[in-house]
Amino acid sequence: MTPPKPHRVLLDRVSGYADEAAAYMRRRRASRRPFARLYYPGGRAEDHADDSRAGAELFVAAGRLIEIAGKRPKP
């Protein structure tokens, strides 16, 4: 059995890094997606998409609260 040609090793390594980066970007996109979850007595929960009317209103209200809170003061 002959060892792989050096340029193949390099190509495999580069494509491995590219796959890792693509997976990282996918995870990052999913985790940065805005969400709105409402919980009711009894354990019921509802998600509201940001393109729904209720979701849009919730995000506007949340944005105002985030604005009031501002940035965390540095210790």
> Interface with other proteins includes 74 (CB under 8 A)?
no
Distance CA 4, CA 10 (A): 10
d(CA 56, CA 66): 15
- Does 4 sit near other proteins (CB under 8 A)? no
Q: What is the DSSP letter of 7?
A: H
- Residue of the chain from 26, 28, 34, 49 that contacts other proteins (CB under 8 A): 34
Per CB under 8 A, 7 contacts other proteins: no
Which is it for the CA torsion 58, 64, 66, 68, positive or negative?
negative
If binding is defined by CB under 8 A, does position 38 make contact with other proteins? yes
Chain residues binding other proteins by CB under 8 A are 31-32, 34-41, 46, 48, 54, 57-66, 68-72
